[in-house]
Amino acid sequence: MTFDPAPVRLDGKTCLVTGANGGIGAATAEHFVALGARVLTTDLGAAFTGDCTSEHRAFNLMTPEGLEGCQHWIAAEVPDVLFNNAAIFDMGSVLDADLAQYDRLFGLNVRAMYAVMQATARALVATGRSGSIINLASQAGHRGEALVAHYCATKAAVISYTQSAALALAPHGIRVNAISPGVVDTPMWDQVDALFARAEGKPPGQKKREVGEAVPLGYMGRPFEIARVAVFLAGDQAQYITAQTLSVDGGSVLRM
């Protein structure tokens, strides 16, 4: 058998990144560009803040108009790769996480995630093209947490939708996978730290230090370490991988 290494580059592919102005989204867009892809980015901001050139549009995926606009954009552009990353975080136990928080978190983390995934899948099927859809889950989606009820549930839903979509789209040559980061050193985690500081009575920065030290590899993840896995799932090296959720967490999955 002749050895035929799969290319690691993404030349000729169009990649869409949602939530592109966050730490993980920006790093992933930068990696896609560096490997030859044409990159589309979207976020609330009017411009892409990452260190590369992308074709950017601002959409508020929490509004009907914003979500519909993004869906029309996807139908016109037909991205080969979707990095479905847009999400928000908030805290609350079942005693105090109200339905307003539920609507916000499920509105973006699940409803918009699903609509963007569906629009990408429909565009690919309509044009007879294969592709790769990568949803961003979380280690929080593999378990419940006392103070993070709604967020954990949204990420569990991401994992479930990833599996269902993978089975439905496999006959069309479309792979659907998810990435479950552990704790990643991004601006979002500074917000998480502040919420834990109030909830647990800890000084700012303490929770962030604690979770980093608890990771078996000894440190919080960095955005580029998630982006590298997204590159793998986007390209031909992962052509026989679908319906999977890859934990990229420094071994934290073993300490749940």
Say which of 102, 151, 161, 219 is annotated catalytic.
Answer: 151
Buried b / exposed e over 176-213, threshold 16 CB at 10 Å, is: bbbbbbbbbbbebbeebbebbbebeeeeeeebbeebbe
151 catalytically annotated: yes
CB 81 within 8 A of CB 132: yes
CA 210 to chain centre: 24
- Catalogue the active-site residues: 151
